[in-house]
Amino acid sequence: MKRVYVNEQWCLGCHLCEYNCAYANSGVDDMVKALKGKQIFPNVHIEEADGVTYAVSCRHCKDPLCVKSCIAGAISVKDGTVVIDKSKCVGCLTCVLVCPYGAVAPGPDGAASKCELCMQNTCGEPACVKGCPNAAIVYEERQERA
Amino acid sequence: MNGYVLIGNGVAAAGCIEGIRSVDSDTPITVISKEKHEVYSRPLISYYLEGKTTISKMNYRPKDFYKKNKVTVIYGNAVSADMKAKEVTLDNGEKIGCKAVCIAAGSEPFVPPFEGLDTVEKKFTFMTIDDTLALEKAIGKKSRVLIVGAGLIGLKCAEGIAKRVASVTVCDLADRVLSSILDNECAGVMQKHLEKNGISFMLGDTVKRFDKNNAVMKSGKKAEFDVLVLAVGVRANTQLAKDAGCDTDRGIMIDTSMKTSIDGIYAAGDCTQGFDSSTGENRVLAILPNAYMQGRCAGINMAGGSSEINDAIPMNSIGFFGLHCVSAGSCPETSEVFEEKEKNSIRRLFIKDGRLAGYIIIGDVSRAGIYTSLVREKTPLDEIDVRRMKISPSLTIYSKEIRRKKLGGVV
């Protein structure tokens, strides 16, 4: 399946992916209204150390620890995409405890939130990828490594 | 045709069903459920009392789970498993033929024989939906609640009812809260936060005897209450396994493929004593992720597949009144400790033999899973950037090459 992948060498560290993600998942039509003056809770985040930057978001693991560990049965795999049923999530953050990528975080309502490849919003394709000015994040099919 | 029989209907059983069905889509599965509920998320009972979830949302799996997986659920009590006769017997005499059994019988609250306990009118344990609904009925705005036990169960109960009762007092023989997962100082931070939110404590003290609505403590102190919650501890349900000939200790002894010492009998979840890779010893690891993973592993093996768990570690994520706490692995006394402290937060890393043996974080728990994976995978610290690890959990601790695999490959 298609996943979001990161080309570290192309990342400019501009953080646009974070804003585009927060906007796409805000449910608001206007980007300014969605983001201005608000604390944002993007499902992708930029990490930075010694001049290197790159984006991190859910890897949609084949055998996801978050799904197996969720105490509420709120995380499941739908057609390869790891999704959270926020109405079931109680915000215990066991998923944060187990995700080896640091790709799950509490959202604005306290429920856990993560990248769902923009399948659950109106964007239609991952907003982080669409808005990346330097192709540092891509959405494509890649082969499993041997 | 003899099928698979699962004794228990909790999360480990759900994992077992999914494990079996990943290998064998047809052989019948029978689940014997003591509780008259479909599989639900037990740790959510306190969130229910707090109003953060509902009984129907507590279902661990969708409504069609049993049907879709061709599972027959019998609401009843299994009393024995005989692998020579290949049958499981219920307390009503019904016998069910089986080719393999998974004991996923969980644990029971342990209630010490307190003097005078029989004189207490409103007393409850706090493990199941039924316990919870009974407790809910008994409490009101004017209730003074005494909880015996300052562990995970007792304190989650305290949080769950805090806003619905007049007062909550928690006592424990241990001199600190959450003594099974937190060290002294971390426990102190949590206790302070709980006190700020209205919970009172009587620690290092326990009940000597009850007299109706009064508890007389060992110290001589007295506590008056209307409702009593007993959350002293839990005991693994091992009796059926023991009677079937399985080796048991504090739990049912299992190997890394969830086999017990009796051929054809597997066990999973809170009733088991399995391999803890953080200490190298066998112990009861009664945590939900472990129950699911053990159940699934058992199911795969019962159905003829091949699965093994050799990286189980203790780990917990728990929050009280908005303050979160995560921990994983062990904190050996001989380890090198790195820590960072602020007023309401602590981050403490335990480093031993060139590995991250364990950690505790209170406060900002963001990306803590990166630390957990270092513990679980026993990553040699000379392969990562320890300086950055100490700053915060992030993927910057890895080399470019490892990061490329993690973020650029199928994982």
Domain B322-408 has CATH 3.30.390.30: yes
The answer to whether B177 and B202 have CB atoms below 8 angstroms apart is no
The answer to whether A132 and A17 are in contact (CB under 8 A) is yes
Least Cα separation, residue B315 to chain A (angstroms): 8
- A64 and A109 together in one domain: yes
**Region A38-55 average pLDDT:** 94
C-alpha count within 13 angstroms, C-beta hemisphere, residue B173: 8
Same domain, A12 and A48: yes
Residues of B in contact with A81 (CB under 8 A): none
Concatenated DSSP letters of B306-375: ---------EEEEEETTEEEEEEE---TTSEEEEEEETTEEEEEEEETTEEEEEEEES--TTHHHHHHHH
Are residue A84 and residue A109 in the same domain, yes or no?
yes
- Per the structure, the count of domains in chain A is 2
Inform me whether the pLDDT recorded for A112 exceeds 80: yes
Q: What is the dihedral of CA B276, B278, B279, B285, to 10 degrees?
A: -30
| Cβ <8 Å between B328 and A5 | no
Contact A71 B44 (CB under 8 A): yes
On whether the CB atoms of residues B148 and B133 are closer than 8 A, the answer is no
pLDDT tens digits, B284-322: 999 999 999 999 999 999 999 999 999 999 999 999 999
Same domain, A53 and A4: yes
For tokens 């969130």, the residue is B47
User: With an 8 Å Cβ cutoff, are B317 and A97 in contact?
Assistant: yes
CATH number of B3-107+236-302: 3.50.50.60
Which range among B14-18, B184-188, B267-271, B272-276 shows the weakest confidence by mean pLDDT? B184-188
How confident is residue A145, by pLDDT bands cut at 50, 70 and 90? Answer: low
Q: Is A49 on the interface with B (CB under 8 A)?
A: yes
What's the CATH code of the domain at A98? 3.30.70.20
Q: What is the ipTM of this complex?
A: 0.96
Q: Are residues A40 and A74 in the same domain?
A: no
Asked if pLDDT for residue B1 goes beyond 80, the answer is: no
Optimal mutation site among A90, A95, A115, interface B, most CBs of chain B within 10 A: A90
| Inter-chain CB proximity A145 and B61 less than 8 Å | no
Task: Show the CA angle centred on residue B111, arms to residues B320 and B259, nearest 5°.
Answer: 85
DSSP-assigned letters across all residues of B189-213: HHHHHHHHTTEEEEES--EEEEETT
Kindly report the backbone phi and psi dihedral angles of residue B170, in degrees, each rounded to the nearest multiple of 5, phi listed first. Answer: -120, 130
Closest Cβ–Cβ partner in B319, B388, B407 for A54? B407
B5-30 mean pLDDT: 98
B-contacting residues in A 115-144 (Cβ below 8 Å): 142-144
User: What average pLDDT does range B349-357 have in this prediction?
Assistant: 97
| Domain hosting residue A109, numbered range | 60-114
* Coil, helix or strand at residue B188: helix
Interface contact flag, A90 B47, Cβ < 8 Å: yes
CB B7 within 8 A of CB B32: yes
Burial label, B52 (beta-carbon count in 10 A; 0-12, 13-18, 19+): middle
> How far A141 CA sits from the closest chain B CA (Å)?
9
Same-domain pairing of A40 and A75: no
Through-space distance between the first and last CA atoms of chain A, rounded to whole angstroms? 17
Topology of the domain comprising B111-232: FAD/NAD(P)-binding domain (3.50.50)
Per-residue pLDDT reduced to its tens digit, B363-411: 999 999 999 999 999 999 999 999 999 999 999 999 999 999 999 888 8
CB–CB contact B316 A97 (8 Å)? yes
Cβ within 8 Å, pair B403-A54: yes
**Region label for B278, one of left (φ > 0), alpha (ψ between -120 and 50) or beta (otherwise):** alpha
pLDDT for A146 beyond 80: no
The arithmetic mean of pLDDT across residues B28-37, rounded, is 98
pTM for the full predicted model: 0.96
Spell out the residues 6+ positions from residue A4 whose beta carbon is closer than 8 angstroms to its own: A44, A57, A58, A115, A117, A126, A128, A129, A137, A138, A139
Q: Where are the domains of chain B?
A: 3-107+236-302, 111-232, 322-408
Classified as helix, coil or strand, B21 is: helix
Q: Which residue of A71, A75, A129, A145 to mutate against B (max B Cβ within 10 Å)?
A: A71
Structure tokens belonging to residue B31: 């689940």
Residues A68 and A47 in one domain: no
A88 touches chain B (CB under 8 A): yes
pLDDT of amino acid B297: 98
Confidence of residue A143 (pLDDT cuts 50, 70, 90): confident
Instruction: Provide mean pLDDT across the span B148-158.
Output: 98
Say yes or no: do domains B3-107+236-302 and B111-232 share a fold.
yes
Answer whether residue B323 shows pLDDT above 90: yes
**Alpha carbon of B326: minimum distance to chain A alpha carbons (Å):** 7
| Nearest-CA distance B291 → chain A (Å) | 9
| Residues A100, B370: C-beta atoms closer than 8 Å | yes
Q: pLDDT value at position A82?
A: 97
Query: B167-172 and B199-203 as β-strands: parallel, antiparallel, unpaired?
Result: parallel
Chain-centroid distance of CA B56 in Å reads 21
Question: What are B115-131's pLDDT values in tens digits?
Answer: 999 999 999 999 999 99
Indicate if the pLDDT at residue B246 is higher than 70. yes
Instruction: Answer yes or no: are the C-beta atoms of B292 and B308 closer than 8 Å.
Output: no
More confident of the two residues B249 and A110: B249
Q: Which residues of chain A neighbour B316 with C-beta distances below 8 Å?
A: 97
Asked if A68 and B292 come within 8 Å (Cβ–Cβ), the reply is yes
